[in-house]
Amino acid sequence: MLSKFNHKENATVKVLKHLYDLINEGKLKPGSKLPAERKLAEELCVGRTHVRNAFAELEFYGIVKTFPQSGSVIAAIHHNALQGLISDIMSIENYDFFSLVETRLILEMESVRLACERADDKDIEALKLAHKDYLDNFHSPRRVEKDMIFHRVIAQASRNDVIKSMLLIITPDILSHYVTKDFCSTPLPTDKHEHQIIIDAIEARSSSKAVSAMRLHLDRLYTFAKQQKI
């Protein structure tokens, strides 16, 4: 889902919509304090919980800042931009499988590229260990999960926690599609070698080799997602 706040709850999105309208009508000026949680809840006939959820989501995206026992203020950017941001947030719900995979491909390639530059001996050691663990579980149901760990170690070696977190966010979404679409049920023997090639490239500090190896490694998933799209 990627949206930390399930929009199944219509009450929360109702609050967001209301704030959107308030901005539109000019009743809520950018940079100003927004209505108290209680007041807003009463006006919209919803529980304060939903208002707080909406505020929390907006705070996550840096649109509002809440001060304890004082109130919440909305970002001091022009109302057009604010509306766009809130609109985007409300639209975040279900991402299409292809976009998820496409993004993962991008992040994984950059992740391994940075890993080539920044991985130390300890990282490479961990990588080899993860790969060994992967091989040991190649014919077990844990294979998919071990593969995930392998990629996580690469992300760790990239020394970029933001990319690492983003991969952390989208991977579960992709995995959930695996199940429904019945992908990856039968492992390909080529996967074994692909991991090894990536390790060798990182150890040799050859980013070009590592990136192309990663692209190849994820190519099957990519083409699969492309087919699903049609």
Number of residues that bind a copy of itself (CB under 8 A): 55
Nearer to DNA, 11 or 77 (CB): 11
Residues 6+ apart with CB under 8 A from 25: none
Instruction: Kindly list the distances between the CA atom of residue 128 and the CA atoms of 37, 149, 200, 209, in Å, as whole numbers in the listed order.
Output: 52, 12, 10, 18
Residue span binding a copy of itself (CB under 8 A) among the ranges 18-26, 94-102, 185-193, 207-215 = 94-102
Residue 71 binding partner per list a copy of itself, DNA, none, with a CB distance cut-off of 5 to 8 Å that depends on partner kind: DNA
Closer by beta carbon to a copy of itself, 20 or else 200: 20
CB 64 within 8 A of CB 89: no
Q: Is residue 60 involved in binding a copy of itself (CB under 8 A)?
A: yes
Buried b (16+ CB within 10 A) or exposed e, 25-61: eeebebeeebbebeebbeebebeeebbbbbbebbeee
Rule CB under 7 A: is residue 71 a binding residue for DNA?
Answer: yes
Site membership for DNA, residue 66 (CB under 7 A): yes
Are the C-beta atoms of residues 64 and 55 closer than 8 Å to each other? Answer: yes
Distance CA 123, CA 114 (A): 12
Q: First-to-last CA distance in the chain?
A: 21
Q: CB of 163: closest distance to a copy of itself in angstroms?
A: 6
The residue count for the chain = 230
Binding status of residue 129 toward a copy of itself by CB under 8 A: no
Among 40, 89, 115, 127, contact with a copy of itself (rule: CB under 8 A): 89
Contacts of 201 (CB under 8 A, 6+ apart): 112, 116, 207, 209, 210, 213
164 belongs to the binding site for a copy of itself (CB under 8 A)? yes
Compare residues 5 and 20 and give the one whose CB is closer to a copy of itself: 5
List, as one string, the DSSP characters of 30-51.
Answer: TTSEEPPHHHHHHHHT--HHHH
Binding to a copy of itself by residue 160, rule CB under 8 A?
yes
Among 34, 46, 63, 74, binds a copy of itself (CB under 8 A): 63
Provide the binding-site residues for DNA, judged by CB under 7 A: 9, 11, 36-39, 46-50, 52, 66-72
User: Which parts of this chain interact with a copy of itself (CB under 8 A)?
Assistant: 1-6, 56-57, 59-63, 75, 77-78, 80-81, 84-85, 88-89, 91-92, 95-96, 99-100, 102-103, 106-107, 110, 142, 145-146, 148-149, 152, 159-166, 168-173, 175-176
